[in-house]
Amino acid sequence: MIVRCWLLILLSFALFAAAAPAAFIRGHAYVAVADWAAANGFHPLARSRGAFTWTNRSSRLTLEKDSHTAQINGVNVALAFPVALEKGTPFVAQLDLAKTIEPLMFTPRFAGKRIFTIVLDPGHGGKDAGNHVGYHAEKDYTLALAGALRAQLTNAGFNVLLTRSGDKYVELDARPDLANRRGADLFVSLHFNATEAGKSEVNGPETYCITPVGAASSNAQGEGANHGACLANRVENKSLLLAYLVQKSLVRTLGGPDRSVRRARFAVLRDATMPAILVESGYMTHPSEGRRIFDAGYRRLIASAIAHGIINYQQLTAVPMTSKPKPAASRSAARAKSGK
Q: How far is the CB of 124 from Zn ion (least distance, A)?
A: 6
103 vs 130, which CB is nearer to Zn ion?
130
Q: Judged by CB under 5 A, which of 150, 191, 238, 265 binds Zn ion?
A: 191
213 close to 270: Cβ distance less than 8 angstroms = no
99 vs 270, which CB is nearer to Zn ion?
270
Q: Which of 190, 219, 218, 210 is nearest to 279 (CA)?
A: 190
Q: How far is the CB of 292 from Zn ion (least distance, A)?
A: 17
106 close to 36: Cβ distance less than 8 angstroms = no
Q: Judged by CB under 5 A, which of 82, 90, 103, 123 binds Zn ion?
A: 123
- Phi and psi, residue 241, nearest 5°: -65, -40
279 close to 207: Cβ distance less than 8 angstroms = yes
Could you give the string, one character per residue 287-326, with x where binding to Zn ion holds by CB under 5 A and - elsewhere?
----------------------------------------
- Phi and psi, residue 246, nearest 5°: -70, -45
Stretch that binds Zn ion, among 66-74, 123-131, 166-174, 204-212 (CB under 5 A): 123-131
Q: How far is the CB of 281 from Zn ion (least distance, A)?
A: 10
DSSP string, 217-255: -TTTTTTTTT----GGGGGHHHHHHHHHHHHHHHHHHH-
Q: How far is the CB of 118 from Zn ion (least distance, A)?
A: 19
123 vs 290, which CB is nearer to Zn ion?
123
63 close to 52: Cβ distance less than 8 angstroms = yes
- At position 49, the amino acid (one-letter code) is R
Could you give the string, one character per residue 62-101, with x where binding to Zn ion holds by CB under 5 A and - elsewhere?
----------------------------------------
164 vs 191, which CB is nearer to Zn ion?
191
130: contact with Zn ion by CB under 5 A: yes
Alpha-carbon distance 175 to 137, whole Å? 20
How does DSSP classify residue 270?
H
Q: How far is the CB of 89 from Zn ion (least distance, A)?
A: 41
Q: How far is the CB of 193 from Zn ion (least distance, A)?
A: 7
232 vs 278, which CB is nearer to Zn ion?
278
266 vs 313, which CB is nearer to Zn ion?
266
99 vs 191, which CB is nearer to Zn ion?
191
- Provide the 3-class DSSP secondary structure of residue 1: coil
- Provide the 3-class DSSP secondary structure of residue 96: helix
Binding residues for Zn ion, total number by CB under 5 A? 3
Q: Which of 179, 207, 190 is nearest to 139 (CA)?
A: 190
Stretch that binds Zn ion, among 61-69, 186-194, 289-297, 321-329 (CB under 5 A): 186-194
103 vs 123, which CB is nearer to Zn ion?
123
276 close to 269: Cβ distance less than 8 angstroms = yes
Stretch that binds Zn ion, among 112-120, 122-130, 230-238, 317-325 (CB under 5 A): 122-130
Q: How far is the CB of 191 from Zn ion (least distance, A)?
A: 3
Binding to Zn ion (CB under 5 A) within 1-40 occurs at none
234 close to 273: Cβ distance less than 8 angstroms = yes
Phi-psi region of 26 (alpha: psi -120 to 50; beta: other; left: phi over 0): left
Alpha-carbon distance 139 to 162, whole Å? 14
User: Which residues are at the interface with Zn ion (CB under 5 A)?
Assistant: 123, 130, 191
